[in-house]
Chain A
Amino acid sequence: MTSVFLGIPTASPHTGRLHGERSFPDAARDGVGDAQLRRNLGAATATIRAKRAGVVAEVPDWDELRVAGAALKDDVLADLERYLVQFEEQFTARGGTVHWARDADEANAVVTALVQATGAREVVKVKSMATQEIGLNEALAAAGISAFETDLAELIVQLGDDLPSHILVPAIHRNRSEVREIFLRAMPGADPALSDDPRALAEAARTHLRRTFLAAQVAVSGANFGVAETGTLAVVESEGNGRMCLTLPRVLITVMGIEKLVPTWQDLEVFLQLLPRSSTGERMNPYTSTWTGVTPGDGPQEVHVVLLDNGRTATLADPLGRSALRCIRCSACLNVCPVYERAGGHAYGSVYPGPIGAVLSPQLTGPGFNSTLPFASTLCGACYDVCPVAIDLPSMLVHLREKAVDADPAGHAAERLALRAVAWTMRSPWRWTRALRGVRAGRLLARRGRIRALPFPLSRWTATRDLPAPPEQSFRDWWAER
């Protein structure tokens, strides 16, 4: 560590992208109103949902794997300090250098200094959520260093001067004709006759990227896993661009969240089954790269890892919230979430959208940010069912709702008063019986058995739905008379 440790570190609130400026309901309106986006998202998530369901169903011990994945992650979280120190020792013993970063600002400063020390003005990047989270590209740009995203979807997002909207498929909100337009506009040397055939688009990206790979001196990556036992880092990907970044440049810098450790090399067995089937719906991902320190004369000769906290130990401090740190970023929960499908990823304001984002982002940033995210769910439970590490997302959302309400009493004053009045009434059978008789007065508002308009906040109901006219008699009064 670079300085004396004082208290639990939280995320740098204004660096990187863990929260948006707008509330979820407000930002979601853009997604709901964008018919093209809803079509793109609906088609893409339906395809990937079906693929996932197919390849998961063919694994006879999926439930056991899921339990094992959860248990391994819980073990790491319960003993994180020991595993981190073990990882540091092993990584260092094999010729790598370990850096510790309490927050996004520290991580960005470490990476920027490392790149500057090489004299390079350009870096190539492997798709990485951690570097998106800390806003590394923007920090490097401020230091005059250009970062080139090499993952196809990240490249589309970067060239489009856009923001990622999905963990696995950052450009899921774009269809192929939009991708073609972005390439023609922003990719140097793009062929004006480029078609919107996916293969032609991929080939154009390949040609563009090949030049960059061959010139790059420094690569920056994230990591899917870090093995404490051996000091090994692992990246799982589909395109091979990651493998190029991890092997060609002289210097390799990896930014990894501290929760990404697994105890032993053998434990990768569990996660390398869970992850591809849950994320891309493939039995196995095309490329799995692992590296352990420096091998003289082969691959990068200078290897660094930045171990990033940025709100993770604060999340770990909450016994109910901490299992969000089991997440292996597969995005299965996004693909099944009916709210994500309608609102789109940008509505969440964070690089982590969907159900996992709704529980992770508020915990990483702490109170004052993301306060509407835990409410961005109907608690339908589809996310929990598909989570490969069995994070009980609905229960955690409820827990975080309570924290959000407690953190902002003024903002919830009216709601609290109303709910308290309801609870007070329900607590007494005498009051409750009479209150239900009072509901009958609502019949005055009804025309032909239905109520078409009510005052705020119930107008939010009647804007799109009728309410049935209340009955003449409550059930309990009927029962009492019977």
Chain B
Amino acid sequence: MRVALFVTCLVDGMHPEVGKATVTLLERLGVQVDVPATQSCCGQMHVNTGYGRMALPLVRGHVDAFAGYDHVVVPSGSCAGAVRHQHEALARKAGDDRLARAAGQTAARTYELSEFLLDVLGVEDVGAHYPHRVTYHPTCHSLRVLRVGDRPLRLLRHVRGLDLVELPEAEACCGFGGTFALKNPDVCAAMLADTMGNVLATGAEVCAAGDSSCLMHLGGGLSRIRAGVRTVHLAEILASR
């Protein structure tokens, strides 16, 4: 089984600890992980800001980087969603049917981390130990683009020492939305404030999610108000012992 890690541009540049945790976790579970050096970004930021054509070379690069692997694992629901739901359509729209076919094949082999653990490896208990009170935000694209359902929660429920508390209005968007955060700062800030209120209401020490982008937004807000709540990626919790 040849497994590649698509680490995502944000994790690569800003949150390497999430990539390292994913590698640690997968290796512990007996998976030999490869990190293709030519990978960069899924292009979602370009597509969702209205520059789909600009993303086309990124799609091509992505397909090339991950050709020949049996599985591609992504520690991000949003980036996995872009690969699965945008790449083929972008290539098709640009009239590149060959790329569209290749992108479709890559998409079919791409898994968000919790999907890979449960659906490919068939593991619910990864042997982690994390003695903290944790609340989980099931990010929109994991929930409504990938439909990961309760997979992350099933993984968290098996973590020793972890006290999982339910987040009120868990399925409501935290307000990040990529360039939405810069284009609509007022609405974004209002959504952030409401989400932080829900996180604080749980009394959790840690707010976890499967997307570093949403966590950067939420964590930035919690840091600004000195809430004392940390944001931690699902991979980091599952990798800790």
Q: Which residues of A contact B (CB under 8 A)?
A: 24-25, 28-29, 32-33, 38, 338-339, 342-343, 372, 374-382, 384-385, 398, 401-406, 412, 415-416, 419-420, 422-423, 426-427, 429, 432, 436, 439, 450, 452, 457-458, 460-461, 463-468, 470-471, 473-476, 478-480
Chain B nearest CB: distance from A433 CB in Å?
8
Give CA–CA (A147, B183) in the complex, Å: 40
A426 neighbours in B (Cβ, 8 Å): 9, 40-41, 58, 61
Chain A nearest CB: distance from B141 CB in Å?
7
Interface flag for B37 (CB, 8 Å): yes
A377 neighbours in B (Cβ, 8 Å): 177, 180
- Which residues B28-84 have CB closer than 8 A to chain A? 35, 37-41, 43, 45-52, 54-55, 57-58, 61
The answer to whether B15 and A471 touch across the interface, beta carbons within 8 angstroms, is: yes
The answer to whether A378 and B176 touch across the interface, beta carbons within 8 angstroms, is: yes
Interface flag for B127 (CB, 8 Å): no
- Across the interface, B184 reaches (CB within 8 A) one of A339, A439, A468, namely A339
The verdict on A401 contacting B40 (CB below 8 Å), with A380-B173, A474-B13 known, is no
The answer to whether B46 and A28 touch across the interface, beta carbons within 8 angstroms, is: no
- Size range of the interface on B? 35 or more
B65 to A, closest residue via Cβ: A429
Give CA–CA (A66, B182) in the complex, Å: 35
B49 neighbours in A (Cβ, 8 Å): 401, 405, 415, 419
Interface CB pairs A-B, < 8 A, 28: A28-B184, A28-B187, A377-B180, A378-B175, A379-B178, A380-B173, A382-B144, A384-B144, A398-B50, A402-B50, A402-B52, A405-B51, A406-B50, A450-B220, A461-B181, A463-B189, A464-B185, A464-B221, A466-B219, A466-B224, A467-B216, A474-B13, A475-B12, A475-B16, A475-B20, A478-B19, A479-B19, A480-B37
- Across the interface, A420 reaches (CB within 8 A) one of B48, B54, B188, B191, namely B54
A342 neighbours in B (Cβ, 8 Å): 187, 190-191
By secondary structure, the B interface counts as helix
A32 neighbours in B (Cβ, 8 Å): 186-187, 189-190
The answer to whether B177 and A378 touch across the interface, beta carbons within 8 angstroms, is: yes
* Beyond known contacts A426-B61, A473-B16: 16 more, CB 8 A cutoff: A25-B183, A25-B187, A38-B190, A338-B191, A339-B187, A342-B187, A342-B190, A378-B176, A381-B145, A404-B50, A415-B49, A423-B57, A439-B13, A465-B217, A465-B220, A479-B35
Give CA–CA (A466, B192) in the complex, Å: 13
